[in-house]
Structure 1
Amino acid sequence: MNSSFTRQSQQDTGFVLTRQSRDVRGKTQMTLWVKTDHGPCQLIVEGDKPVCFIAATDQPRAQEILAQQGVMVTWRPLEMQNFQHQNMSACYTPTITTSLQVGTLLAAEGIKVYEDDIRLADRYLMERFIRGGIAFAGAAVARNGYREFHQVKAKAADYQPELSVVSLDIECSEKGILYSVGLHSDADSRVIMVGQPANPDESALGWIQWVSDEKALLLALHDWFTHYDPDVIIGWNVIDFDFRLLMKRAEWHQMPFRIGRGQQTPHWRQSSQNPNSGFISIPGRVVMDGIDTLKTATYNFRSWSLESVSQELLGEGKAIHNVYDRMAEINQMFREDKVSLARYNLQDCKLVTRIFEQTHLLAFAIERSRLTGVELDRVGGSVAAFTNLYLPQLHRAGYVAPNLESENWIASPGGYVMDSKPGLYDSVLVLDFKSLYPSIIRTFRIDPMGLVEGLLLEEGKADHQAIAGFRGGRFHREKHFLPEMIEALWAARDQAKRDGEKAFSQAIKIIMNSFYGVLGSSGCRFFDHRLASSITMRGHEIMKMTRERIEEQGFEVIYGDTDSTFVSLKKAHSSEDADAIGNRLVAEINQWWTAYLKETYSLESALELEYETHYHKFLMPTIRGQETGSKKRYAGLVIRNGVEEMVFKGLETVRTDWTPLAQEFQQTLYRKVFHQEDVEEYVRQYVEQAGQGLFDDKLIYRKRLRRHLSEYQKNVPPHVRAARRADEVNQQLGRPLQYQTGGWIEYVITTHGPEPVEARQSPIDYDHYIEKQLKPIADGILPFIGRHFDDIIAPQLGLF
């Protein structure tokens, strides 16, 4: 500990769980809840002054404007500049409210205010390089279940937390009246159930806690949190559904909902962009929604329902899919069989726990926080992560960060995508550049401050002091931070992979790969089209030059996409021969890039081409109905460890808007073609069986309604027509309308058009499925073997 930690202080090390800041009696107060080996601690930091920055030439006028409005601030001259090389002054305010006033008043007068959007607690932590782990000291007071620290001094520490987790799920009526709350943790698993046990056997079930009414349920839930005191609460749609409803019911009963640490109440904030979404802060506890966290960790599923994700990840789930069947069953269980409802409730909690364990989601969130300092429950957060890492270094180099300037946003070119050469190929190799964009940033020193410093150099001196980018970009060879940040992350990821730390490796990969996206995003204060373009356009150049090197070796490049090159070996090769060629190619090309960059730019190459895959059979299809090759769509047959695997990219099998019928047909048909088996009998038989109704369970379309139903006016697609029909039926039956504000609809095509699965009345239109689902699949591959779908299914008479 450093000398500022006095002898009278208690000291400890822990992990930041939550952060809040507010104004109290004319000064700021930050509250950091920290998990330590000795229990939770509340750190209270008082009097830290919010700061923003203003050009020194604007300071006199700014002082005058603020004085006229009676706004009290403190000024300090700085040896810092903005990116336009103007000298800056710091403006300190006593409160957060005053800081907001300053920004509003000066902006209204045309005075630019820098960094006034950075929250007080975020700045406090980032400027101390505190990323999750924190060492702290101060005057400590023992409270009920935690220690409270005042006069806090804090600095960064390396700390790996062990966090206690509870999975929470509620069951309720369609009107939002609570029936039960399920809680599943290592310490305790129970269901708090409204009602009375029906018999002595039910009374003896220790995992059900019976309460008299809804208010008693909320009080019991409060007591549970006080007693078991979890660090993390997980669930499925747990913020927008479970907690939204729990807080509404507590408000209806006019009772405080004190489930935070220190008996504090949660704070709910409605999303300004989505009326169905919000954010919750519970002092001392982190709330992590399973859906949002999986998306942040780059998982993707056909459906995000708990049942669907459970089936895909765990091989189990629940059979109830229709919301009304589910609601009716829950209502019936609550009336007649509360124990079954309790089991159902607890099973949901356990499924969420197992999903988090299976995917290492909590470990992923912890590592992301340790790497970047973003909150554990932060959804997305790429821009925040970059800002946390970059801003403190920028300040120490004497620069103030630019403001968000989305109105000046200029698009940069996307990743390189080559026109493909359609065909059915033997032996295609895939060569990938390992983390191409991060390696370009490292190699060519691409960096926001490096751009500012590079452009300062005189043209004549630029060649040896700077590296030319694209669209006028020029990057200083020595003055930069981002290349070193990438290099450190790269090394950490390689070590994590060697140590088998999948969550850590995944967190690093996502962060590292997000840096290009951040620099190319209008939502990032460091956006400059010269930065993003110097990455993507350099990527185009590298891919084209790599293609030339490969074709000089006598092979054919049939496709290229962002960082992947597809190489036809022109004839069938054994796995051993193909592997030898692939390894030789990448070695030679990497060696060539090392020499070329050294000679041309005097740069050390961080580019690393890897041999990824050998496809024994490979299909590059055409665009439907054309002869031109498609992009981002292909299929192939690989053999890994002696096991065959079909790979589909961008084709119907991996798209959610095609039916299971089409997907099953495609997988089998492609496998047969790749193995050079006869396909005519299979196609005829499959079409015949589909037309006879043998595959009716595979005919369901599933599509998302992305807007309110009323917004679809001119062109009304099939899924919208099905949803409108479903809600007509709901209205006739006196049930709540289900699809008016969006959601997912399952429907089939009938002789009277699209109809919802739950309310189909007309016969299925089998001709539609043959023409619109099976024929396009077949036409995507059959012409490459000299066959045609229409000829195969034509009546036998037509053959004579």
Structure 2
Amino acid sequence: MTHPAQTGFILTRHWRDTPSGTEIDFWLATDDGPRKVRLTGQTSVAFAEAAVQDAITAQIGPQAGIALRTLPLKTFQQQPVVGVYAARYKQLTALERTLREHGIKLYEADIRPPERYLMERFITAGVQTEGGHASGSVIHNCKLKPAPDYRPALKMVSLDIETSAYEDLYSIALEGCGQRQVYMLGEPPDADADADDEAAAPAIDFELEYCATPRQLIERLNGWMARHDPDVLIGWNVVQFDLRVLQKNADKYKVPLALGREGKGIEWREHPGKQGYLFAPLPGRIVLDGIDALKAASWMFPSYSLQNVSQAMLGEGKDIGDDYDKMAEIERRFQHDKPALALYNLKDCELVTRIFAKANLLAFMIERATVTGLPADHLGGSIAAFNHHYLPRMHREGYVAPNVGDVSGGASPGGFVLDSKPGLYDSVVVLDYKSLYPSIIRTFLVDPVGLVEGEIAADPATVVEGVNGTVFSRDRHCLPAITTDLWQQRDAAKRAKNEPLSTALKLLMNSFCGVLGATECRFFNPRLVSSVTLRGHQMLKQTRKLVEAEGYDVIYGDTDSIFIWLKKEHPPAAALAIGQRLADQINLWWRTMLKEQHGLDCHLEIEFDTHYQKFFMPTIRGTELGSKKRYAGLAVNAKGEEEVIYRGLEVARSDWTPLAQQFQQGLFTRIFKDQPYQDYVRDYTERTLAGDHDDLLVYRKRLRQPLDDYKVNVPPQVRAARLADEYNQAQRRPLRYQNGGWISYVMTTGGPEPLEALRSHIDYEHYLTKQLQPIADAILQPMHDSFTSLTTAQASLF
């Protein structure tokens, strides 16, 4: 019986080779629950130059399942190609390796069957099934068509585990699908406990089940997943820790970890370029790590620990917040107060769920998949997203894609930064080019196929001149149309106030230039990237000329923004009017020039961004030259409140202490509001020397390599980490820092010492000369003042 049409959202995709050919499975979320689509007999394809067809046929021999077919396609070098069709994908990849050894190229052989199927049909995440036949919840051999407007209602569960210091499994918590559940190793508390203990016990408002063995813990987890059947599994560091440790314990106790649909296990893969970093594809379920999801959605935090992020976003932290006592407290609760450990375990789940809700992360990941064509839990993947959009359009223009490494070359120039003019200013207006690089691609028709077609064009009227001798076809291109479509979708998303979709579209568009400059991309070409970035350089320089012709000073510019000093103090409304007038004049100039001189439609648009009532641009430390990408300004935010905005300064950087950050904030606030600052500097110094700010002296830095890799010029954080692990070893605790991580330490008279093993007195002179003085002098120099002149008395007493 033919299956009726059904709309769904692709959760996961999998493929396998069988004796009868390649099979592709898509798990869908639909309004009627999860469905699996199975497509059998899928043929895989790659391409080769027609000139080597005989050599390929000789390598294939009589092998069944591979055929060559003439196609109306060509390479970027204008060579005609043939299609190489294989019944099984692994046959194709094996042939590619064999041919490569003989100096013969296959093109696009690395495109896996699910991705090939979807991209050639212009499907991203939403699909509509047509035809096929059903067997239970499986739809066999239907056709899939794009359904870009479909959004699913997904069931989500947050998972967290607690373990010993040696990753022995203690408990598993689950929060989602209307359930709050903890499975705990061990026996329930003694029912005959005395009344005092019973009164002190935490209230249990969730399901708490005790399990006699770790094996039973994992069996209960498997059962819960099968029973409640979530579409999405979330957690904090959920792949690299929770799922990895669950798998480790499942293997140890010889029990399957069956968290996928149909009782399937995790299909573990290791990152090819990042040793020890794991991927955990789960058939039928999306796995989302909260840390990676926040980063993908452009949320920035000094630390991505659950404690720090939950405090910043929710105003609430974990039950056990002190890293140094955490394992000891978990062990104590496991041994003596299992209900309290269960509460702590479940609280972590609930914090993750609330962070996802606060940041609208699930909606963002759904929109991101809908925009990019990548699996919802495939984070990063800018090159793969580019391929998904570009390859099918390129095929329809008559081309096959080059291979990675076909084009070599050096780095391309990045964004242009104007020299800054340091100082303290009244009334600085910032104008910003809207999506600069995508708008350059659209306007000047920058495109891989367009470059190839432009260079073989016989009629100069059919090309657009780029930079450094490049030319692009006016009529044959793909990327400008792709970018225009995404741009229009983003405008519609903004009108609909769909922030997750708007963000996903913006991130994809803005990735295109970087993708073309990545050597890992098959379309890498420095000439393409330069055609975008160098055009941006020209635009920023021309914009400065247009502004200065109006009588204003440009004091700084960076890639797509220009900072304009209005020469005197202006009220916000007057500054806004000037900024908008300048933007209108600049936009008119570009439209007129591009149409009259180049016959191009202008998609460049500069717009008013910010008015700083007070603005400070520092010097490069130790010089009189203006710094770059570092400034502070006083502006009025959307709520009508005054706000100091920092970019690149110490207050916005995690490698400076809270002592320095708080000092810089206080000093800027006083200077921007024309308040006396001298007594503030003196008092802050005095209180630091008196020990009143000792809680602000902690450095927190990341160890990016194993400790043993630091041989010479050992930085302070490494010295502190080594002391910490010496202390941990003496206390018979696990070593925490041998393979990297974050270390918190203070500077003492004995050097850098970790918080868990402080022995010496604090080195206050270090904090005065290395933290407070550089910040003060950078701000006070334009006012002909200095930290030393203000604090000489305190320093001499010290």
- What is the TM-score normalised by the length of structure 2? 0.96
Quote the offset at 1:794 in angstroms: 1.0
Counterparts in 2 of 1:787 and 1:204: CA distance versus 1, 3 Å? closer
Within-5 A mapping of 1:655-734: 655-734=653-732
Corresponding position of 1:622:
619
What is the CA distance between 1:674 and its match in structure 2? 1.3
Which deviates more from structure 2 when the two are superposed, residues 265-274 or residues 341-350? 265-274
* Amino acid in structure 2 at the alignment position of 1:59: Q
Aligned ranges for residues 438-587 of structure 1 at < 5 Å?
Answer: 438-458=438-458, 461-462=459-460, 464-587=461-584
The residue type paired with residue 152 of structure 1 is C
Aligned counterpart, 1:161: 152
2:132 and 2:386 map into 1 onto residues whose CA distance is: 34
Shift of 1:10: 3.6
1:376-428, CA deviations, whole angstroms, 9 ceiling, x for partnerless residues? 00111111111111111111121101111177142111001011011111111
CA distance in 1, matches of 2:135, 2:60: 43
Deviation by residue 1:440-483 (Cα, 9 ceiling, x = unmatched): 1111111111111111113xx22x21111123321111111211
Partner of 1:609: 606
Q: Which residue of 2 aligns with 1:254?
A: 254
Which amino acid is the alignment partner of residue 275 of structure 2?
P
State the match for 1:152 in structure 2.
142
**Partners of 1:501 and 1:199 in 2: how far apart?**
53
The superposition leaves residues 182-215 of structure 1 with CA deviations (integer Å, 9 ceiling, x where unpaired) of: 1111421111112232155899865212222211
Do structure 1's residue 32 and structure 2's residue 26 form an aligned pair? yes
Which of 758, 761, 764 pairs up with 1:766?
A: 764
The alignment partner of 1:136 has SS state of: strand
Distance 2:367 2:670 in 1: 45
- From 163, 166, 169, give the equivalent of 1:175: 166
Q: CA deviation at 1:42?
A: 1.2
Letter in 2 for 1:35: A
Name the counterpart of 1:58. 52
| Residues 386-465 of structure 1 mapped to structure 2, 5 A cutoff | 386-405=386-405, 408-458=408-458, 461-462=459-460, 464-465=461-462
Distance 1:471 1:367 in 2: 38
Distance in 2, Cα, partners of 1:127 & 1:596: 39
Counterpart position of 2:267: 267
Residues 708 and 742 in structure 1, CA contact (< 8 A), matched pair in contact too: yes
Change beyond 3 A, Cα 1:454–1:557: same
- Whether the aligned pair in 1 keeps the contact of 2:446 and 2:531 (CA below 8 Å) is yes
With over 3 angstroms needed to count, the CA separation of the structure-2 counterparts of 1:797 and 1:97, relative to structure 1, is closer
- Tell me the distance in 2 between the aligned counterparts of 1:56 and 1:792: 79
The aligned amino acid for 1:376 is: A
Of 542-551 and 71-80, deviating more is 71-80
Distance 1:323 1:796, change over 3 A: closer
Whole-Å separation in 2 of the counterparts to 1:174 and 1:714: 31
Which structure 2 residues correspond to residues 230-379 of structure 1 after superposition, within 5 A? 230-318=230-318, 320-379=320-379
Residue 775 of structure 1, aligned match among 758, 773, 781: 773
Aligned partner of 2:187 in structure 1 is: 196
Structure 1 residue 505, shift from structure 2 partner: 0.9
Q: 1:453 to 1:555 in 2, by over 3 A?
A: same
Following superposition, the deviation at residue 150 of structure 1 comes to: 1.7
Work out whether residues 2 and 133 of structure 2, in 8 Å CA contact, stay in contact via their aligned partners in 1: no
Partner of residue 4, structure 1: none
Tell me, yes or no, if the aligned pair for 1:66 and 1:105 is still in contact at 8 Å. Answer: no
SS at structure 2 position matched to 1:666: helix
Contact 2:133 2:142 in 1 (8 A): no
**One-letter code aligned to 1:60:** D
Matched residue SS, 2:145: strand
Tell me how far 1:11 sits from its aligned partner.
2.8
Cα displacement (A) at 1:601 = 0.8
RMSD: 1.8
Q: Does 1:14 align with 2:14?
A: no
Counterpart check, 1:98 vs 2:96:
no
Any idea what SS the aligned residue of 1:45 has?
strand
Question: Which SS does the other structure have where 2:441 is aligned?
Answer: helix
Q: Distance in 1 between matches of 2:257 and 2:18?
A: 22
Number of equivalences: 786
- Give distance in 2, aligned partners of 1:453 and 1:704: 48
- For the 8 Å contact 1:751–1:762, the answer to whether it is kept is yes
Q: Aligned residue for 1:3?
A: none
Counterpart-to-counterpart distance in 1, 2:692 and 2:795: 25
Residue 168 of structure 2 aligns with an amino acid whose one-letter code is I
Cα deviation for residue 705 of structure 1 reads: 0.5
**2:211 partner letter:** V
SS of the aligned residue for 1:197 comes to coil
Q: How does 1:733-744 map to 2 (within 5 A)?
A: 733-744=731-742
The one-letter code matched in structure 2 to 1:558 is I
Q: Distance in 1 between matches of 2:281 and 2:4?
A: 28
User: Could you tell me which of 630, 633, 637 is aligned with 2:634?
Assistant: 637
* One-letter amino acid of the structure 2 residue matched with residue 18 of structure 1: T
Write the distance in 2 (CA, Å) between the matches of 1:247 and 1:684: 57
**1:65 Cα offset (Å):** 2.1
Tell me, yes or no, if the aligned pair for 1:66 and 1:72 is still in contact at 8 Å. no
Q: Is the 8 A contact 1:469 1:530 kept in 2?
A: no
Conserved 8 A contact 2:415-2:533: yes
- CA deviation map 1:763-784 (0-9, x unaligned): 0000000000000000011121
Amino acid at match of 1:48: Q
| CA distance in structure 2 between the partners assigned to 1:206 and 1:407 by the alignment | 59
Is the 1:293–1:379 Cα contact (8 Å) retained in structure 2?
yes
Kept after mapping to 2: 8 A contact 1:140/1:149: yes
Code of the residue aligned with 1:735 in structure 2: it is R
Question: What is the SS of the residue equivalent to 2:83?
Answer: strand
Whether contact under 8 Å (1:23, 1:29) holds in the other structure is: yes
Amino acid in the other structure paired with 2:746: V
Rounded to whole Å, the distance in 1 between the matches of 2:575 and 2:627 is 25
Paired residue type of 2:576 = D
Q: Structure 1: which amino acid aligns with 2:161?
A: I
Cα distance in 1, alignment partners of residues 383 and 206 from structure 2: 47
Name the CA distance, whole Å, in 1 between partners of 2:323 and 2:572.
50
Contact 2:185 2:212 in 1 (8 A): yes
What is the match of residue 195 of structure 2?
none
Q: Secondary structure at the match of 2:385?
A: helix
Is the partner of 2:589 in helix, strand or coil? Answer: helix
Percentage identity across aligned positions?
48
Cα offsets for 1:109-131 (capped at 9, x unmatched): 00011001111111011111111
Is the CA contact (8 Å cut-off) linking 1:470 and 1:533 kept in structure 2? yes
Secondary structure of the residue aligned to 1:281 is coil
Verify the 8 A CA contact 2:724 2:757 in the aligned structure 1: yes
Q: Distance between the aligned counterparts of 1:597 and 1:157, measured in 2?
A: 38
Answer with 770-779 or 267-276: which moved more. Answer: 267-276
When structure 1 is superposed on structure 2, of 678-687 and 270-279 the one drifting more is 270-279
Mapped partners of 1:678, 1:150: distance in 2: 76
Amino acid at match of 1:177: D
Unaligned runs of 5+ in 2: 192-197
Distance apart, 1:152 and its partner CA: 2.4
Deviation at 1:322, TM superposition (A): 4.5
